[in-house]
Amino acid sequence: MRRYFSFAAISLVAAQAAYAQTAPVEAAPPIDTLYFVVRDGIVMTTQGHTMVIDYNEDGTFVGELSGSAFEGTYRLDGARLCATSSLAASETCIAYPEGMTSGDTFDAVSPALGGVRIHIRTPEENRAASATAQAGN
């Protein structure tokens, strides 16, 4: 009986180890700050340049830098937003602080850009930008 139990325990451990090696790695649930980032978009300032970025719920985004449009994909992983864009093919992740909401501005570090200042736009800012764009057309 004792040998049978030992064999069963070893088999169970081996099966769990094999499953762990083949199981997909799931991202951590996103923090609340990233809810507002995706919902309202951001304005990122770095090295004297300003980027306006709008995120879509399908994992894509569009942006503008110095009058030039760019696009890409993103994924959320806990406090990190990881993105690949037409500006940079390799994925870059930025850690966002907890507790930020629409209208907040804070500093973060981008592995590709260094220090960045991020402003989470407000719904009012988005409506004003939309009205200005429509008036210009």
pLDDT of amino acid 18: 42
Looking at the domain assignment, is residue 70 inside a domain?
yes
Please name the residues in contact with 117: beta carbons below 8 A apart, sequence gap of 6 or more: 44, 45, 46, 105, 106, 107, 108
Can you tell me the mean pLDDT for 104-123? Answer: 95
- Outline where 23-107 has alpha helix (H): 32-40
- Adjacency order of strands within the sheet including 105-110: 92-95, 80-85, 68-77, 60-65, 49-55, 42-46, 114-120, 105-110
pLDDT of amino acid 136: 75
CATH number for the domain that contains residue 54? 2.40.128
Q: Is the pLDDT of residue 127 over 70?
A: yes
Listed in order, strand segments (DSSP E) in the chain are: 42-46, 49-55, 60-65, 68-77, 80-85, 92-95, 105-110, 114-120
Looking at the domain assignment, is residue 92 inside a domain?
yes
Unique residue bearing structure tokens 């992983």: 77
Looking at the domain assignment, is residue 95 inside a domain?
yes
Q: What pLDDT digit, counting tens, does each position of 5-49 carry? A: 333 333 333 334 444 444 455 778 888 999 999 999 999 999 999
pLDDT of amino acid 24: 54
Looking at the domain assignment, is residue 66 inside a domain?
yes
Share of the chain above pLDDT 70, in %: 80
Q: What pLDDT digit, counting tens, does each position of 60-77 carry? A: 999 999 999 999 999 999
More confident residue, 44 or 89: 44
Looking at the domain assignment, is residue 37 inside a domain?
yes
CB atoms within 10 A of CB 56: 13
Q: Which amino acid is at 1?
A: M
Looking at the domain assignment, is residue 77 inside a domain?
yes
Counted domains in the chain: 1
pLDDT of amino acid 56: 96
Structure tokens given for 113: 């850009």
CB atoms within 10 A of CB 13: 10
Can you tell me the mean pLDDT for 73-95? Answer: 93
Structural domain range at position 102: 32-136
pLDDT of amino acid 131: 81
Q: Is the pLDDT of residue 112 over 60?
A: yes
Looking at the domain assignment, is residue 15 inside a domain?
no
